[in-house]
Structure 1
Amino acid sequence: MSDTATRRATPSNRTVFDVAWPLTFKAMMVNGIVLIDAYLVSGLGEPALAAMGLASAFGTLLVGTLFAFSTATQIRLAQAVGSGRPVALKTGFYAGLITNLAVAMIGIVFVAAFGGLVLDRIAHTPWIAEQARSYLNIFLLVVLCEAVAQCVGSFFNGSGRTIIPLKSYVFAIPINVATSYLLIHGAGGLPGLGVTGAAIGSALGALARTLYLARAFHRETGSYRDEPGWLNGTLWQSLGRHLNFSMPIAGTFVSNAVANYAAMLLFAKMSVNQFAAMTLILPWVQAAGTFGIAWAQSTGIIVAQLLGSNRSGDELDRFLGRAWRMAFVAAGLVSTTYLFICLGSGWIYGNLEQETTAALLSFLPVLLLLPFPKGSNAICGQTLRAGGDTLYVMNIFVAAQWLVRIPLTALFVLHLDLSVTWVFALFLVEELVKFPLFHLRLYKGEWKRGLAAE
């Protein structure tokens, strides 16, 4: 009777909140790495900010790719938790870890071979190109650490214990802040390395976080050394199945990362002040918007667990109805946060030129509206992925990015020479294009058939 009662208990909004709030703060801290660097580097002037913006675009592309595969691993592990099979947890974790390490090494080789050439071509001055290259070379250490840390974080997230990855950032961020400050400005008798110092601080923080998570995983599971066998017979067969499941999800995030990088290259064609405004606002958009996205992500985790235990139908509808209503509350909070960020930009970045500050204020109307369609789209996307409808989700993202936002960005910047305000508004246009495509698919209900971990 106890098992039946537990099975019939539909997760509440409190359950989602317990999973979501650590994801929120963790995501804020992820974006905080760039925000910290931007804040500390802003005192060096707009050219230094531009150098960091160009280099961090490369780094964001690589870390975003790892996040893509880690998201797929997280869904597999959430399904494994729902099914109650330890061998599924072992298989999902190691398949995800091997995948992450392979992707990281491919990305590092690619950047080492071509990154410098791209930076030389798009930087406004040789000095900006040199500083960007120095930042990027060191940031590759962050990428390698994230390959491991994100996979371990997916293990804890998939089981609903999102607090543990959050603690890893609480441990690592002070290391990042302290070393970045000392090395950027040369405090405490250390050499002032400028932009390069910011990258070193990020690398040390990432290493500390990886060690923290690896220790927590080993203490809890013994690294699954005592769990015999693999879910699909052999590790390599399991890896193949994992990749088949992961590729559409990874394709979605990779497309987004590449599109953002392509947009950043286009932004670089604007004036230094307008490009600096974009460099400053985009990390804030990501950081402040994390609660809405984290709510959607936690909803997807719980849906995957429910589907892994073969629960569907009316129970899923009730759960999603409650989660969706709270998603709009989250969007309102995010919108209010954007208001304070824009109005306080002159105080946050006191050394900015007047043109840069004016550009930041001009983003406000779009920022007040953006969280609502974005949050609702996120609920749809996470739910569809949890139910296995990953290819359709990828197609929506790819179409909205490469048929709408990027072509219009190129038109606005390269041909019409519109202001940065109109260029920024395209982020809202993209969400409005995706809105009917996501919601119509979700209402069809085919995802409710479930996708139990294999």
Structure 2
Amino acid sequence: MTIAALAQGAQARVRAVRTERAARTPAERTAPSDVLALSMPLFVELFMQIMIGNINQFMLAPLGTQPVAAVGNALQILNIVTIALSAMGTASTVLVTRVLGGSGVDRSRSVSEIATLALVVNAVLAGLMTAVLFAFWPQFFSLLNIDPALHGMASSFLLVVGSTTMLQGVFFAFTALLRAHARTGDVMKASLAMNAVNIAASAALIGGVGALPALGVEGAAAANVVARVVGLLVARGLVRRNTDVRMSVSYLRPFPWSTLKRMLGVGVPSSGEQMNYDLAQIVILSFINVLGTTVVTVKVYCSMIAGIAYLYSIALSQATQIVLGYLFGAGKFDAVARRVWAADLIAIVLTTCVSVLIYVNSDAVLGLFTADPLVHELGRQVMLVEVFLGVGRALNIVMVKALIAVGDVKTPVTVNVLSSWVFAVGGGYLLGIGLGWGIVGMWLAMCVDEWLRAGFLLITFARGGWRRRALAMREASAAEKPKEPNVQSVPVLMALAADDDGALADGVVDAVSEVARQLW
């Protein structure tokens, strides 16, 4: 057999697999290969999202450490906004996947209702958070101990980008719908479009090109705004083209309070878990700000680089959460457990490999941003700790999404609050400031926090409380369903008529009485 024939056969098999996969409904895409297929576009999409912020800092690096530190502090505040909005998107994804995985007869209306409500909630929440940013940004800067010399640049970036928070909220609502329908490739397309625009606009506005002046930090902020507008338009078009979801005010009349309650029941705790983590990071950043602008720059670069190490773990956790929603809605709890353990193993292996690779080449990686020897020296030490921290972080990412998907939203929040403030924040201050270990001591404290949380979440899932609660809820739901009236069938009544000894009359009376009792 020739190489050409082998290639043609391989192409035919690939086409057959794609055709078979396309013919399945989203709820039928629950195999391990489907998790992989869902995760790869999500990985690209997440990489593009990270690049939007990182590209700005990369292009600002030639201007000095102050612009990088200013934008890094502003992004830390904006991350809180992003978490709150993305959490409601997560809630709608979880609810929609459960509807699609279940056996309801009016799934289309239920999905459209959830989508409309998620859009409204995100828009309202975004408006409130925009008002808070504009009203209290000086207080935020004071709490973070930001160097007054950075206030001008940091406030410019924060307020310009923060003014488009509502666009970001609506964007998250659309991408959550695409994820729930297993259209992760479409989410990737929207992020690619947004990132391409951000790169082009940043290159033109930060350093200036042609008649356009060099705007520096303000140019980076303007590029973000343009990119968000483009991303929103692309995401909206993909939702309309590739799903049957139709958003309408009619789905809010009468107002779906029960759906809102379920959405908040998932969204508030999940946002609380991630928001608490970022609030802890903000406090740790306030400790680092005391150590000087150079150390802040080290933190910005190392956090940015370390994020790449567990980037696929985030994509894998999101893909797993989608599949778990389908399986959980269908009551396939053994399959749920298998998917979670497989995702944990993959996350550990990949994160460790990437973290080690980054540490070995830390000088070269940091050299992409700066030649400052102090940044390189501190960065190497931090990236060594990150090899161990990344494993715990990857496990936490997967387990939090898994527990939320199976209905346990309280455990991740409780564990996160207790562990992060006691070990990450308290331990970070003790080691970094009290003992004088600096940023390396703070990273060690965060490593302890991640490992403790990961261990507790693994034990919680393995004990199976989520399974017992789900089975109890299904049994209670089945018990509430009305039973069919135990009436006499027509053949039985005809048989009674053939032997008319009064049994026919008794049978008719019994049947009518039973129907009346059931109706009553």
- Please give the TM-score of this superposition, normalised by the length of structure 1: 0.90
Residue 54 of structure 1, aligned match among 40, 59, 73: 73
Counterpart for residue 339 of structure 2? 319
Q: For 1:298 and 1:340, how far apart are their aligned partners in 2?
A: 30
Please show how residues 266-415 of structure 1 align to structure 2 within 5 Å. Answer: 266-312=287-333, 314-339=334-359, 342-349=362-369, 351-415=370-434
Contact 1:142 1:202 in 2 (8 A): no
Give the letter aligned to residue 286 of structure 1: G
Please say which structure displays the higher CA radius of gyration.
2
Distance verdict in 2 for CA 1:424–1:171, change over 3 Å: same
SS of 1:324's partner is: helix
Q: Cα offset for 1:227?
A: 11
Contact 2:147 2:289 in 1 (8 A): no
Q: Percent identity?
A: 20
Q: Cα offset for 1:166?
A: 0.7
Residue 115 of structure 1, aligned match among 133, 137, 140: 137
Distance verdict in 2 for CA 1:396–1:120, change over 3 Å: closer
Give the letter aligned to residue 266 of structure 1: F
Residue 83 of structure 1, aligned match among 102, 108, 112: 102
- List per-residue Cα deviations over 1:29-77 (Å, max 9, x = no partner): 1111111011011111011112112211111121122122222222112
Contact 1:10 1:319 in 2 (8 A): no
Contact 2:366 2:379 in 1 (8 A): no
Contact 2:112 2:246 in 1 (8 A): yes
SS of 2:100's partner is: helix
Q: For 2:209 and 2:324, how far apart are their aligned partners in 1?
A: 49
Q: Does 1:104 align with 2:126?
A: yes
Give the letter aligned to residue 40 of structure 1: M
Contact 2:27 2:101 in 1 (8 A): no
SS of 1:186's partner is: coil
Contact 2:190 2:235 in 1 (8 A): yes
Give the letter aligned to residue 263 of structure 1: I
Q: Does 1:177 align with 2:199?
A: yes
Give the letter aligned to residue 102 of structure 2: S
Q: For 1:15 and 1:333, how far apart are their aligned partners in 2?
A: 24
Across the two proteins, how many residue pairs are aligned to each other? 446
Q: For 1:269 and 1:68, how far apart are their aligned partners in 2?
A: 31
Give the letter aligned to residue 265 of structure 1: S
Q: Cα offset for 1:352?
A: 3.5
SS of 1:189's partner is: coil
Counterpart for residue 38 of structure 1? 57
Distance verdict in 2 for CA 1:237–1:319, change over 3 Å: closer
Deviates more, 1:86-95 or 1:42-51: 86-95
Counterpart for residue 505 of structure 2? none
Residue 146 of structure 1, aligned match among 160, 165, 168: 168
Q: For 2:331 and 2:254, how far apart are their aligned partners in 1?
A: 23
Q: For 1:25 and 1:222, how far apart are their aligned partners in 2?
A: 25
Residue 431 of structure 1, aligned match among 433, 447, 450: 450
Contact 2:419 2:449 in 1 (8 A): yes
Structure 2, unaligned runs of 5 or more: 1-23, 478-520
Q: For 1:393 and 1:18, how far apart are their aligned partners in 2?
A: 27
Distance verdict in 2 for CA 1:185–1:89, change over 3 Å: same
Contact 2:30 2:327 in 1 (8 A): no
Structure 1, unaligned runs of 5 or more: none
Distance verdict in 2 for CA 1:190–1:437, change over 3 Å: same
Q: Does 1:224 align with 2:246?
A: yes
Q: For 1:436 and 1:142, how far apart are their aligned partners in 2?
A: 39
Q: Does 1:234 align with 2:260?
A: no
Q: Does 1:214 align with 2:236?
A: yes
Contact 1:345 1:360 in 2 (8 A): no
Residue 193 of structure 1, aligned match among 212, 215, 230: 215
Q: For 1:426 and 1:47, how far apart are their aligned partners in 2?
A: 27
SS of 1:259's partner is: helix
Q: For 1:257 and 1:9, how far apart are their aligned partners in 2?
A: 35
SS of 2:421's partner is: helix
Contact 2:314 2:394 in 1 (8 A): yes
Contact 1:65 1:257 in 2 (8 A): no
SS of 1:11's partner is: coil
- List per-residue Cα deviations over 1:133-185 (Å, max 9, x = no partner): 11111111442221011111111112222111111111111210111121111
Higher relative contact order (CA 8 A, sep 6+): 1
SS of 1:160's partner is: coil
Contact 1:139 1:200 in 2 (8 A): yes
Counterpart for residue 164 of structure 1? 186
Counterpart for residue 262 of structure 1? 283
Contact 1:148 1:210 in 2 (8 A): yes
Give the letter aligned to residue 383 of structure 1: A
Give the letter aligned to residue 192 of structure 2: V
Distance verdict in 2 for CA 1:51–1:384, change over 3 Å: same
Q: Cα offset for 1:121?
A: 7.0
RMSD: 2.7
Give the letter aligned to residue 282 of structure 1: S
Give the letter aligned to residue 275 of structure 1: V
- List per-residue Cα deviations over 1:187-219 (Å, max 9, x = no partner): 222111111111111111111101100111123
- List per-residue Cα deviations over 1:346-381 (Å, max 9, x = no partner): 4312x4321112111112221222232222333322
- List per-residue Cα deviations over 1:278-326 (Å, max 9, x = no partner): 01111222233110122122112211111112222x3333333433333
